[in-house]
Chain A
Amino acid sequence: MSDKATVHIVDDDLAVRQSLAFLLATAGIGVRLYDSASGFLNCLAGASAGCVVTDVRMPEIGGLELLRRLKAAGSSLPVIVMTGHGDVALAVEAMKAGATDFIEKPFDDELFLQAIRSTFQNRSAEDSGALATRLKLESLSRRERQVLDGVLAGKQNKVIAHELGLSPRTVEVYRAKVMAKTEATSLPDLVRAVLNSGYG
């Protein structure tokens, strides 16, 4: 595996770092581990290629801040952000700040590896998908769009329901329709597609 295929893992949790290293090793992907964002930033000169996987929550410098600093330093490394449960709002923010992808912990190995691999590939294919996504979004009804806005704002179903004067059950139905119309396979997939289309 070339240097291009190196994954830089930035996470303050030792077990998470080791388990990710193990997982990627089984997939034949090289890793370098950092226990903090500042540790990684110090070694940035030697990490010109590959991608970055970082937790959004870390002491001192969090994932979002790391993203911003990388952009500020002129780095073009793709960054995948890992989030915990209920941090959709943070994830959306991360995507807006330029994250390539985000993934909810704990995650399926295939989903994760696919996200890693896609960062190694040419991104033009996804760009061409933007128009298609935009067309799909335009087919949403007013209610579906309102529910989508709520989801993108990181709100929970019951909050969206309260705000729209609907029952949580109805919001769930709209949300499923949105996923179907946009052909998104997961929430990150939906967020990513919408953000790439320039809708948000």
Chain B
Amino acid sequence: MKTSSSTDSPSVDLSILFSTLSHPYVAFERNLVVAAASEDYLRQTMTTRKDVIGRHLQDAFPMNPSGGSETLDAMCASIEEVFANGKKTDLRSRRYDIRRPDFDGTFEERYWNIQNVPLVLDASGAVAYVVQSIEDVTDSQLKIKNAEDRFRSAEERFEATFEQNAVGIALIAPDGHFLRINTHFGDLLGYDHDEILGKTIGAMTHPDDLEASTEQVAALLNGVGLPYTIEKRYIKKDGTPLWVRVTRTLVRDLSGKPAYFVAVAEDIADRKAAEAALMQREAYLQSILDTVPAGMIVIDHQGVIESFSRAAERQFGYAAGEVVGRNIKILMPSGDRERHDDYLQHFNRTGEARIIGKDRVVTGERKDGSTFSLNLSVGEISPGSRRHFVGFIQDLTDRQAAEARMSELQAELIHVSRFTALGEMASTLAHELNQPLTAITNFLKGSRRLLDQGGEAHGAMLSHAVDQAADQALRAGQIIRRLRAFVERGESERQRENLPKLIDEASALALLGAKEGGVRVSFALDPAAQTVVVDRIQIQQVLFNLMRNGIEAMQDMPIRNLQVATSLKTDGMVDVMVSDTGTGLAPDIASNLFRPFMTTKPTGMGFGLSICRTIVEANKGRISAGPNPGGGTIFRFTLPTPETEESGHVG
């Protein structure tokens, strides 16, 4: 053991002293050379006395290249400080790795608490040695370090979660300022992270949603800390609104004071757009339902009204709000009202439909207690598993009004129907004409007989008979005049008429029963052929006759198509065509078609078409007939228009 000698230090054999110490101690001279070390020190630092005694601190220990120089430097400084000040120093939890000599020179990670204490040996108070005690705190230090590592990785995970989340996340101060946002949040609103700091969430909220937002904040501040979700609009950097679903939570500090809000924002623009589209569709459907003259009522399986259309409101006198949620029974008069629940239960139980899919005329009761007959058609709808019924209601008082108009029209056209019974009329006419003709013949033939018998004796009788014959001839003339009057009706009633309407009305009557007879009827009306100058009733008689003729001509044909077509001709007249796919016309008949007593019909007398010609010509038109290229006949007549009337055109 080598002892150092110094001029102002008393000589003490430290080695003997240290060898007795049972704790890890080491003593340094002023020049930081190790003077002595206890056995425990050597054991803990895995060195030998020979390795360290008489060596400078920096050289006495092998150094782990991966760590320890800082600790040695700090230890040197600390020791020197003690020599200088005479006060002890502490170094805590310093890493200094130990080389394990029994292994292959690897180092063991070790942490130490180090205390340097001055050793004064004389009255001068000068520090002779610094005695260092060490404490191995590796175990506790490693625990702390592991905890730190775990904490760090948790923080890293949080960062990753925060930053890379598919939803926007913002940390917001209680006063509304942004503290931090993730990238997605910035992307949602079009801001960079730095741009958004210093702004408040309030400034980025749609004015219409501010109230709801404020409410959310208040609820969180007063509440128990549960998340709170609302749907609201943010204002993006470019000024456009963005629909988001925001869930906010409040984070409080340890003292319970609000620290910050975490706001998680999801972009729901697509969903909102879909919702808006749906609402628009609904509004669209609603507007259709509001426009349709039929009322529509939707009820659930128990008969509770769920929807009540505008038309239904008009029909029943109830506002939708008054009846929605109530049972449909209230719209029925007593009788049905009591039985309706049973009807519904019967259907729900058995599925046996008594009214669904059928039209039925029933009676409804208005709010004021009055009743009206209505046509009801009921359909079943099953969205999901819930059964609903939708009823369409047509107020028959309207339809009855329409029917009344129809019968008015018919009454007008009854006049026309004299023409349907034209065969009969002609026969009656023949009979009527035959009476005077018979009388004339008889009077004249009788007179002739008297003359043969020597007329002088019978002068009075003869002149009476001749007078009578003359009277009867006049009577025959009157009958014929009556026929002309019936047909012509004079020119005074020609006026502007709407041709499509005229055709429509005449067809309504002419086609009665035609559909049942398997006749397909079509119209090809030229939009340019609108106004004609005619006697409406007369032209309707013509149309009526031609259409009836066509239908009769097709009776035994496999294909029965009747078409009415109009067109405006270049000369300003309007052409009206009635074509059929009937038997067609034999050539010998076609040439005489419009002459009286010409007929192809078993029961006809041949007056119809001659009257049609008389009428059409009285209305300044022309009528003709020709073969239909596909088989059958086309009748065609022209009618004057206001233009041709003015220019004095006549057919």
Q: Residues on A close to B: CB < 8 A?
A: 13, 15-16, 18-20, 22-23, 25-27, 57, 82, 84-87, 105-109, 155, 158-159, 162
Contact = CB atoms under 8 A, between A and B. Distances in A.
Contacts of B427: 84, 86-87
B445 interface: yes
Which A-B residue pairs are the 5 nearest by beta carbons? A19-B442, A109-B445, A15-B439, A84-B431, A19-B439
A16 to B, nearest CB: 5
A15 B605 contact: no
B434 A109 contact: no
A16 B430 contact: no
Given A84-B434, A105-B438, A162-B600, 5 more contacts: A15-B436, A26-B450, A106-B441, A107-B438, A158-B600
Contacts of B465: 19, 22
A24 B12 CA distance: 198
A62 to B, nearest CB: 11
A158 B592 CA distance: 14
A126 to B, nearest CB: 25
A106 B438 contact: yes
B437 A106 contact: yes
Contacts of B440: 19, 106
Nearest to A57: B431
A22 B442 contact: yes
Interface string B564-605: 000000000000000000000000000000000001101001
Contacts of A27: 449
Contacts of A109: 441-442, 445-446, 448-449
B472 interface: yes
Most B-side CB within 10 Å, residue of A13, A15, A85: A15
A30 B436 CA distance: 22
A108 B469 CA distance: 15
B443 A16 contact: no
Contacts of A16: 435, 438-439, 442
Most buried by A among B427, B439, B450, B471: B439
B370 to A, nearest CB: 49
B240 interface: no
Interface in B459-510: 461, 465, 468-469, 471-472, 475
Nearest to B603: A159
A15 B435 contact: yes
Given A26-B453, A27-B449, A158-B600, A18 B430 contact: no
B442 to A, nearest CB: 3
A10 B450 CA distance: 24
A27 B453 CA distance: 10
A15 B468 contact: yes
A86 B430 contact: yes
Nearest to B445: A109
A19 B447 CA distance: 10
Nearest to B451: A26
A106 B449 contact: no
A87 B443 CA distance: 24
A109 B231 CA distance: 112
A27 B442 CA distance: 12
A105 B446 contact: no
Contacts of A155: 602
B434 A105 contact: yes
A164 to B, nearest CB: 13
B441 A107 contact: yes
Nearest to A24: B446
A175 B441 CA distance: 28
Contacts of A106: 434, 437-438, 440-442
B434 A18 contact: no
Interface in B598-615: 599-600, 602, 605
Contacts of B441: 19, 106-109
Contacts of B448: 109
B472 A15 contact: yes
A161 to B, nearest CB: 10
Nearest to A163: B602
Contacts of B605: 86
Given A86-B605, A155-B602, A19 B443 contact: yes
Contacts of A82: 438
Interface in B31-88: none
Contacts of B446: 19, 22-23, 25-26, 109
Contact of A18 (B437, B468, B475, B602): B468
A13 B439 contact: yes
